[in-house]
A and B are shown apart, each in its own frame.
Chain A
Amino acid sequence: MWRILREVARHRRVSEALPEPACEWQREGQRIQHEILRVLGRALAIREVDAGSCNGCELEIHALNNPYYNLEGAGIRFVASPRHADLLLVTGPVSRHMETALRRTYEATPAPKLVVAVGDCGCDGGIFGEQSYASCGGVARVIPVDVAITGCPPAPIDLMRGILAAVTARPPD
């Protein structure tokens, strides 16, 4: 135990300040954000859905929980069920084999709900293309999307900015 304590004492607090929300990434369909904030304050429950990514985006989403970004410290948690979620964070492209599962997850999420599409693939299919026999392309082709975060993969700081943009009460300019 003393080794663990010594290791804990060795490191200062590394969590960094939250970035500014990227309001310029807001899209049509953000109409419910005022409502979310009114109902939830700043606590936010996110359900992550991998709808066909290469897993690169997931690696950076994982990083949000490391001590540097400390997303939980900002009152934002990843939850295990869409029924507990305010926001779906969806990576793509949406494979046709995940289309139904994604739609069901969306339906199971209680309204009001937000959807953030992650990565170039989540935005428009990215390198895997717009549509094919096996892929539906971007997330918005399957469920409504509020904010789309580009990048391959987006860096954690951009993920945070996009998530904050989705929940920030400021309407699009």
Chain B
Amino acid sequence: MRPAGLEVDFAALAAPLPMHRGRTDADGWSACARHIAEAGGRLVSLWGSDTSRDEPYVAAAYASAEGLLWVEFELDRAAPAYPDIARLFPAAGRMQRALFDLLGFRAEQAIDVRPWLRHAAWPEDVFPLRRDFDPARRFPAAGDAYPFVTVEGDGVHEIAVGPVHAGIIEPGHFRFSVVGEKVLRLEQRLGYKHKGIERRFIGMDLGQGAQLAGRVSGDSTVAYAWAFAMAAETLAGVEPPPRALWLRALLLERERVANHLGDLGALGNDAAFGFALARFSGLREDWLRDNGEAFGHRLLMDRICPGGVACELDAAGRERLLARADAATGELARMRRIFDEHAGLQDRFVTTGRVTPALAAQLGLCGLAGRASGQAFDLRADFPWPPYDRLAVRKCGHHNGDVAARVELRFDELFESLRLIRALLVGLPDGPLRSELALPALASGAGWVEGWRGEVFVALDSDAHGRIARCHCHDPSWQNWPLLEHAVIGNIVPDFPLINKSFNLSYSGQDL
């Protein structure tokens, strides 16, 4: 197929969502980016590989009206470079910097060329994802002076926090420029959790790969496991049996509910309403215990495998989960009323940490936070793949883009997920749980799933022996972290934890 206005032919991947892959050259690369930006498309991910085929390649995945477009072009091994797309898609900036850190592919004429994932662990002329990289090699700690942007002016001072934070949260560094209590600017520095996940994938078999994908970001293990499985199935041309797909959706919605419950409790707590934490963390615990009993893992890790699922649900489990979904719906309705009527909470939530729809569109805010700022994208509703094609998912949305909107949206999505869970439990078809699957040699596949935080994307290339040549996992946090920098401008420093929590972005998922 050839999307209107593009000079590139795309071939459809054998995937349950519309995904197309096309090859081009440097000019085509830029032209595609321009056309897709003008047509209102979004950048989903940007990555590269030196281990998949004879020549290295750089690739971008865009979301367009036609579905996902995977645009790829071959690079010159001697001087691997590609035209910058961050001017069109600002979210590409950090991805391009990471691509250089890991593969040494240079974005020509990029504005910001500071390292992103690389701190001190390896030198700047070594690229861990290159085919000639020796995984046994260790490097002495290199210098680590990161050039932060400084703000000058009367009474401006800096507050630096992290990488180790005060609470039980992931490490990252935040540098605030403030006047009095007011934040003028926030600059993030991430990459502290970089543990070499993408290098680790290379050479793994499918089973190991599925396990690793499920540990890119622990709170989204189901979304990653499904996206990875979808990529493998697309690559192999295999369809999982219907019962497996229904169970996968059940697990994905259960993951969404568990995370929203945790976040609502923490958001209440950050606004000094401890009762919310007690109630929501209790509800979450009930929910996780049900996971453990019904599926054998509280966080649902390793329940989805390439070809199907590795869990079963019996009639008694089904009844229990149905009863819990009903009970939770009632509890949540009461809790929502308490939130709505609590003047202190609303005072902290309303207008705090605001991202306007215009800014969200310009910078590519996605997922849950995007929907709270008028970016009405949800793969489950936009490109409903089985079993969502039978469930008519209601897309939730809001326009205010403040903490209050992100709280509202979590409640809305909770009720919708509980409805979906009931429908999935009632309609669960009988049948086998898994199809046989082996990776064919030298092929590519992709997976695209709406996780609780946003769209998770996986690109997978196999090698000549049917093992993993390259697996790229993309977390929606890549798009959303830069927006957090904007959301805090003009707010007071003590509101930062609340604003941060309302986004609840993944460090591990973007540090890889």
The answer to whether A binds B is yes
Q: Are B211 and A127 in contact (CB under 8 A)?
A: yes
Q: Are B282 and A60 in contact (CB under 8 A)?
A: no
Answer whether A134 and B196 are a contact pair too, CB < 8 Å, given A55-B507, A97-B120, A101-B171.
yes
With the chains together, A11 CA to B168 CA distance in Å?
Answer: 27
With the chains together, A68 CA to B298 CA distance in Å?
Answer: 15
Number of A residues whose C-beta is below 8 Å from B? 50
Q: Is A78 an interface residue (CB 8 A)?
A: yes
Q: Is B288 an interface residue (CB 8 A)?
A: yes
Q: Are B282 and A58 in contact (CB under 8 A)?
A: no
* Chain A residues within 8 Å of B163, by CB: 97-98, 101
With the chains together, A126 CA to B214 CA distance in Å?
Answer: 13
Q: Is A18 an interface residue (CB 8 A)?
A: no
Q: Are B262 and A152 in contact (CB under 8 A)?
A: no
Q: Is A67 an interface residue (CB 8 A)?
A: yes
The one of B191, B208, B212, B301 that contacts A56, using a Cβ cutoff of 8 Å: B301
**Restricting to A5-19, which residues have a CB under 8 Å from any CB of B?**
7-8, 11, 14
Q: Is A33 an interface residue (CB 8 A)?
A: no
Answer whether A7 and B338 are a contact pair too, CB < 8 Å, given A95-B195, A97-B194.
yes
Q: Is B128 an interface residue (CB 8 A)?
A: yes
Number of B residues whose C-beta is below 8 Å from A? 59
* Chain A residues within 8 Å of B138, by CB: 131, 133
Q: Are B121 and A50 in contact (CB under 8 A)?
A: no
Q: Are A7 and B219 in contact (CB under 8 A)?
A: no
With the chains together, A160 CA to B506 CA distance in Å?
Answer: 26
Q: Is B278 an interface residue (CB 8 A)?
A: yes
> Looking across the interface, which residue of chain A has its beta carbon closest to that of B282?
A67
**Restricting to A65-115, which residues have a CB under 8 Å from any CB of B?**
65-68, 78, 80-81, 93, 95-101, 105
> Looking across the interface, which residue of chain B has its beta carbon closest to that of A92?
B195
Q: Are B193 and A97 in contact (CB under 8 A)?
A: yes
Q: Is A168 an interface residue (CB 8 A)?
A: no
**Restricting to A98-156, which residues have a CB under 8 Å from any CB of B?**
98-101, 105, 126-129, 131-135, 152-153, 155
Q: Are A132 and B168 in contact (CB under 8 A)?
A: no
Most central of A54, A63, A66 by chain B CB within 10 Å: A54
With the chains together, A127 CA to B211 CA distance in Å?
Answer: 8
Q: Are B193 and A52 in contact (CB under 8 A)?
A: yes
With the chains together, A4 CA to B279 CA distance in Å?
Answer: 11
Q: Are A7 and B279 in contact (CB under 8 A)?
A: yes
B135-167 to A contact mask, C-beta < 8 Å, 1/0: 101110100000000000000000000011011
With the chains together, A128 CA to B192 CA distance in Å?
Answer: 15
Q: Are A135 and B285 in contact (CB under 8 A)?
A: no
With the chains together, A97 CA to B221 CA distance in Å?
Answer: 24
B431 → chain A, closest Cβ, in Å? Answer: 30
The one of A4, A57, A129 that contacts B338, using a Cβ cutoff of 8 Å: A4
A31 → chain B, closest Cβ, in Å? Answer: 27
Most central of B122, B212, B215, B292 by chain A CB within 10 Å: B215
* Chain A residues within 8 Å of B284, by CB: 63, 66
Q: Is A61 an interface residue (CB 8 A)?
A: yes
The one of A4, A55, A62, A129 that contacts B217, using a Cβ cutoff of 8 Å: A55
With the chains together, A81 CA to B161 CA distance in Å?
Answer: 13
B282 → chain A, closest Cβ, in Å? Answer: 5
**Restricting to B212-271, which residues have a CB under 8 Å from any CB of A?**
212, 215-219, 221, 262
* Chain B residues within 8 Å of A62, by CB: 168, 262, 281
With the chains together, A93 CA to B191 CA distance in Å?
Answer: 14
With the chains together, A63 CA to B285 CA distance in Å?
Answer: 7
With the chains together, A127 CA to B292 CA distance in Å?
Answer: 21
B260 → chain A, closest Cβ, in Å? Answer: 13
Q: Is A30 an interface residue (CB 8 A)?
A: no
Q: Is B311 an interface residue (CB 8 A)?
A: no
Answer whether A95 and B193 are a contact pair too, CB < 8 Å, given A49-B164, A50-B171.
yes
* Chain A residues within 8 Å of B169, by CB: 50, 58
Answer whether A129 and B200 are a contact pair too, CB < 8 Å, given A52-B193, A96-B121, A97-B119.
yes
Most central of A50, A98, A134 by chain B CB within 10 Å: A134
Q: Are B168 and A61 in contact (CB under 8 A)?
A: yes
With the chains together, A134 CA to B171 CA distance in Å?
Answer: 15
* Chain A residues within 8 Å of B326, by CB: none
Q: Is A26 an interface residue (CB 8 A)?
A: no
Q: List 7 A-B contacts (CB under 8 A).
A: A62-B168, A66-B285, A93-B195, A101-B171, A127-B208, A128-B195, A131-B138
The 3 lowest CB-CB distance pairs between A and B, nearest first, are: A56-B218, A134-B196, A66-B281
**Known pairs A58-B168, A101-B164, A134-B196. 11 more at Cβ < 8 A?**
A7-B334, A48-B168, A57-B218, A62-B168, A81-B166, A98-B163, A100-B141, A129-B196, A133-B128, A155-B292, A155-B298
**Chain A interface residues (CB < 8 Å from chain B):** 3-4, 7-8, 11, 14, 48-63, 65-68, 78, 80-81, 93, 95-101, 105, 126-129, 131-135, 152-153, 155
**Chain B interface residues (CB < 8 Å from chain A):** 119-122, 128, 135, 137-139, 141, 163-164, 166-171, 191-197, 199-200, 208, 211-212, 215-219, 221, 262, 275, 277-279, 281-282, 284-285, 288, 292, 298-299, 301, 334-335, 337-338, 341, 506-508, 511
